[in-house]
Amino acid sequence: MARRPHRRRIPKPKGNKPKSTRSKAAIDPEVPCQVPKCKEFADTELGGRSIAYDNAIDVWDNIPEGPRRVKICRTHYKEWKKSKKDDETEWS
């Protein structure tokens, strides 16, 4: 008769609900970045921003026309900010 190995009971943590950590994977991105050819998402949870259309076309001239605000992903927001700065230094 083979003895079954005694299973160790792992005590469950009491009242310690795992915090709902909103990792990137948990976010369901639904706002696409409006910069042409960009496949990122512009959800605010992901660091996306919306900027004025007029500002956007200063940097990317082929932004599809639409609402007055353009949703851009974090990467493009950085890019936009950077090019804005470059502009300013050039002009002054």
Helices (H), the chain: 53-59, 74-91
In the list 51, 73, 77, 80, the residue contacting Zn ion (rule: CB under 5 A) is 73
In the list 40, 59, 60, 77, the residue contacting Zn ion (rule: CB under 5 A) is 40
In the list 29, 32, 38, 46, the residue contacting Zn ion (rule: CB under 5 A) is 38
For Zn ion, the closer of residues 31 and 38 by Cβ is 38
Task: Give me the residues that bind Zn ion (CB under 5 A), please.
Answer: 33, 35, 38, 40, 73, 76
